[in-house]
Amino acid sequence: METVTLASKYQLVVPRGARERLRLRPGMKFTVLDKGDVLFLVRERPMRAYRGLARGASPRGTASQRSAAGFRDPDFYYYDEDKK
């Protein structure tokens, strides 16, 4: 863990080791989140990077949520032990 100092223009220098490990480059954009006394820097990524992230997700909720509500999805295969 390294310590950095906030400059008079409210700038921080990311230590070299962290820059290299995270492959940070000049001009990259970050979202800043603060939680209590902690700042999180989250690298912004193009929407293309999120493609396929929710593949297979149902807008109707998870299978366990649907079954708890008594909903049976006609497109979902239900295994029936009696039909062996």
Please indicate, yes or no, if residue 64 is contained in any of the structural domains.
no
Q: What is the mean pLDDT of the chain?
A: 79
- Residues 40-67: what's their mean pLDDT? 74
Whether 64 shows a pLDDT value over 90: the answer reads no
Quote the number of domains for the chain: 1
- Residues 20-44: what's their mean pLDDT? 92
Whether 41 shows a pLDDT value over 60: the answer reads yes
Torsion over CA: 34, 35, 38, 43 (sign): negative
Please indicate, yes or no, if residue 57 is contained in any of the structural domains.
no
Question: Beta strand pairing status for 30-35 and 38-43?
Answer: antiparallel
**Residues spanned by the domain of 29:** 1-45
Q: Looking at the whole model, is its pTM more than 0.75?
A: no
CATH number assigned to the domain comprising residue 29: 2.10.260
Please indicate, yes or no, if residue 15 is contained in any of the structural domains.
yes
Q: Please, are residues 20 and 14 in contact by the beta-carbon 8 Å criterion? A: no
pLDDT digits (tens, 9 = 90+) for 70-83: 655 555 555 555 55
